[in-house]
Amino acid sequence: MCGIIGYIGKEDAVPIIVDGLKKLEYRGYDSAGIAVLGYNGFDVVKQKGRLAILEERLASRLLENKPLSGRLGIGHTRWATHGEPSDINSHPHVGSKNKIAVVHNGIIENYKQLKERLEHSEHGVSFASQTDSEVIAQLAEHYYSGDIIDAVIKVSNAVEGSYALGIMCIDEPDTLVAVKKDNPLIIGVSDHGNFIASDVPAVLKHTNKVYYLNDKEIAVLKEGKVQFFNMDKEPLKKKIETITWSMDSAEKGGYPHFMLKEIMEQPRVLRDTIQSVFNDGKNKNVLDSVNISGYNKIVITACGSAFNAGVTAKYVFEKLCRISVDVELASEFRYKDAIIDNKTLVILVSQSGETADTIAAMREAKSKRAATLSIVNVVGSTIAKETDYCLFTAAGPEIAVATTKAFSAQLVLLYILAVRFALKTGKLTHKEEEAQLAEIASLPDKVKMLFEQIDAIQKYASTCVGYKSIFFIGRNIDYAIALEGSLKLKEISYIHSEAYAGGELKHGTISLVEENTLVVALSNCERLYGKIMSNAQQVISRGAKVLFIGNCPRDDTESEKLYYINLPKAAELFSPSLSVIVLQLFSYYVAANKGLDIDKPRNLAKSVTVE
């Protein structure tokens, strides 16, 4: 959580940092701040609340003829962990000697001990905030004796926990230093200056050339130069990477929200992701090289929507490959002493590739010698780098906190993986494999067809803003995708919501159904249509309304209590890719009708890099 950015170069750092923070706000938005190093030392503007408030503060500084300006600066957008969101707890933090300023993403676990030590030291350091992060600025000042790299090495050796840091020192005004452990940090290089940032979109406007910093590597940025060092201060050679994401992908492009834009991008994202496994390249190589016959068990582990992609994929793997699949929440898997060994394939699904629990699950799997395969959207991310095999989703940057296009891309890669494994293990013939792949390849056009119903979905959603609770039901793979529908709705609309397997309704949940409850019923499994429809009738007869989303031939007439949204026909196993589009649009329009901040739902962050 938290986004950091820094710039050193020929241009004014302030607009560059503010613009970069806008692209990082998905990582947290409790407070924002910026510091520049000018002739008179540090100039810091920071406060509680969204970036928009910081912009207002910067604008009033301009009106007062005291603009914030400088060619070296750092910025931060916060998701509070230690210390409430407040002006004083906002970053950047400056040490009490006013010598060193720091922005931090991560958690310093031993900050209390370090703080006490500094408070009781010879000079009696006094702390201004309640954050763990301030200890870094204070500690760096404590260690500083003329060389900022030496001080950063000492800080890195003293702190426990996770960090991505941007550091400026008043005595070295031509230098911006960065270091990281267990949190992402990229270094961007451009003609006019160099950058540090938590994520690529923050610098994409200026450059597509980046270095990915590894744990405990130090980057030292000057106006026209970037150098890297290890913790023994030995220079490192690093490979520069070229980012293929376009700048447009990090802009709203006329849509009111990133979420809607990202929903609408899905036909292209699906097509690109499907293509990526057939064109020569990394994904094709990975798919060709995983030897599924070497494993007798598959475990899929992930968090949030990525977990729901795993639950959905379980039905596909088990049906096509006849291999048993466990799906585990990464936050549980990491602590459960899982029964896995070198005959297990652990699949990790993560948009960001940086989710702390998923990283821990990956390391747990590796420590038990299981093979690891990841499905990740962000090239250069920790999970992409550390797993044995990595398949990349071609979703491009996803900015809205609630995932849509990355989820859909994860699903299709999981389908293709299952089909390929089924072929390799002799469960499918070549002909059958081709037929399955043709079904998958038809999905992007079917999603486009679905977009023709946007008006109807929007209209129905506009009638749903008043519900206190909305339930989602489905059976088999429809139940799996109901989980995602429910999560999406609660994330962005703040309406309480649960997903249930249709058959479970009568075991308790039905007691919650009353007059004016909404139940969203999913039905793409034709063989189970009758069952889910009788669940729908059971809740209707208890006063509920039902939104029925499916592709089965229907025999109940629409009424005031029962509304249908029809999906194009698709193979049962791949139909979640269509249902989910309706579920995303439904959630989006419910939230939009409530006038909520859809791209940045309260209390959430996109990249959850803390436990």
* Comparison of 100 and 378: residue with beta carbon closer to ligand G6P: 378
Q: How far is 473 from 531, CA to CA, in rounded Å?
A: 11
- Rounded CA-CA distance 392/199 in Å is 16
Binds ligand G6P (CB under 6 A): choice among 207, 351, 387, 575: 351
Q: Does the footprint of ligand G6P cover residue 402 (CB under 6 A)?
A: yes
Task: Give the binding range for ligand G6P (CB under 6 A) out of 274-282, 344-352, 526-534, 580-588.
Answer: 344-352
Contact 188, 195 (CB under 8 A): yes
* Helix (H) or strand (E) segment spanning residue 270: helix 266-276
Q: Which single residue is written with the structure tokens 């940090």? A: 185
Residue number with CB closer to ligand G6P (99 or 180): 180
Mutual angle of helices 430-441 and 405-424, in 10-degree steps: 170
User: Is the CB of 354 or the CB of 572 nearer to ligand G6P?
Assistant: 354
Q: Which residues, at least 6 apart from 391, have a Cβ–Cβ distance to it below 8 Å? A: 277, 283, 286, 287, 373, 374, 375, 376, 413, 417
535 binds ligand G6P (CB under 6 A): no
- Would you count residue 591 as binding ligand G6P (CB under 6 A)? no
Per-residue interface string for the shown chain with ligand G6P, residues 358-397, x marking contact by CB under 6 A:
x---------------------------------------
Give least dist CB 383 to ligand G6P, A: 8
d(CA 560, CA 376): 43
Q: Shortest approach of ligand G6P to residue 60 CB, angstroms?
A: 33
Q: Is 355 in the site for ligand G6P (CB under 6 A)?
A: yes
**Shortest distance, position 330 Cβ to ligand G6P, whole Å:** 8
- Helix, strand or coil for residue 212? strand
Q: Which is nearer to ligand G6P, 168 or 250 (CB)?
A: 250
3 is a site residue for ligand G6P (CB under 6 A): no
Strand order in the sheet with 389-392: 325-329, 297-302, 344-350, 371-376, 389-392
The active-site residue, picked from 2, 303, 321, 552, is 2
Cβ at position 606, least distance to ligand G6P in Å:
5
Give the containing element (helix H, strand E) for 497. Answer: strand 496-501
Q: How far is the CB of 400 from ligand G6P (least distance, A)?
A: 9
Find the part of the chain contacting ligand G6P (CB under 6 A) among 175-183, 188-196, 385-393, 599-607: 599-607
Q: How far is the CB of 358 from ligand G6P (least distance, A)?
A: 5
Among 186, 80, 86, 96, CA closest to 139: 96
Q: What is the Cα–Cα distance from 484 to 404, expressed in whole angstroms?
A: 10
Q: Report the C-alpha gap between 1 and 604 in whole angstroms.
A: 9
Subset of residues 279 to 318 that bind ligand G6P, contact rule: CB under 6 A: 303-306
Pick between residue 207 and residue 352 the one whose CB is nearest to ligand G6P.
Answer: 352
Q: Is 133 in the site for ligand G6P (CB under 6 A)?
A: no
Catalytic one of 46, 405, 600, 606: 606
Q: Quick count: other Cβ atoms within 10 Å of Cβ 429?
A: 11
Whichever of 24 and 125 has its CB closer to ligand G6P, that residue is 24
Return the residue matching tokens 């309640």.
Answer: 130
**CA gap 47, 51 in Å, rounded:** 9
513 closest CA partner among 556, 547, 470 = 470
**Shortest spacing between CB 77 and ligand G6P, in angstroms:** 15
Rounded CA separation 472/474 (Å): 7
Among 4, 72, 360, 401, binds ligand G6P (CB under 6 A): 401
Q: Measured between alpha carbons, how far is 141 from 139 in angstroms, rounded to an integer?
A: 5
The answer to whether 486 contacts ligand G6P (rule: CB under 6 A) is: no
Tell me the residue number closest to ligand G6P, measured at CB. Answer: 304
Q: Which CB sits closer to ligand G6P, 137 or 608?
A: 608
Structure tokens at 511: 């007691």
| Residue 561 annotated in active site | no
Give the residue, chosen from 138, 266, 312, 403, that forms a contact with ligand G6P under the rule CB under 6 A: 403
Q: Does 606 bind ligand G6P (CB under 6 A)?
A: yes
Q: Is 604 in the site for ligand G6P (CB under 6 A)?
A: yes
Over its C-alpha atoms, the chain yields an Rg (Å, rounded) of 25
List the one residue out of 314, 315, 307, 396 whose CA is nearest residue 349: 307
C-alpha dihedral sign at 280, 283, 284, 288: positive
Site membership for ligand G6P, residue 352 (CB under 6 A): yes
Identify the H or E element spanning 554: none
Q: CB of residue 353 vs ligand G6P: minimum separation in angstroms?
A: 7
Question: What's the min distance (Å) between Cβ of 29 and ligand G6P?
Answer: 13
Q: Which is nearer to ligand G6P, 1 or 18 (CB)?
A: 1
The CA distance from 113 to 109, in Å, is 9
Query: Of 190 and 609, which CB lies nearer to ligand G6P in the complex structure?
Result: 609
> Would residue 2 show up in a list of annotated catalytic residues for this protein?
yes
In whole angstroms, what is the distance from residue 601 CA to residue 277 CA? 34
The 434-473 site mask, x for binding ligand G6P (CB under 6 A), equals: ----------------------------------------
Count, residues near ligand G6P per rule CB under 6 A: 16
When binding is defined by CB under 6 A, the residue of 350, 436, 476, 535 that contacts ligand G6P is: 350
Q: Are the beta carbons of 480 and 574 closer than 8 angstroms?
A: no
Which among 94, 81, 171 is positioned nearest to 127, based on CA atoms?
Answer: 94
With tokens 């939230």, the residue in question is 591
Q: Does 334 participate in binding ligand G6P (rule CB under 6 A)?
A: no
Residues noted as catalytic: 2, 606
Residues in contact with ligand G6P by the rule CB under 6 A? 303-306, 350-352, 355, 358, 401-403, 604, 606-608
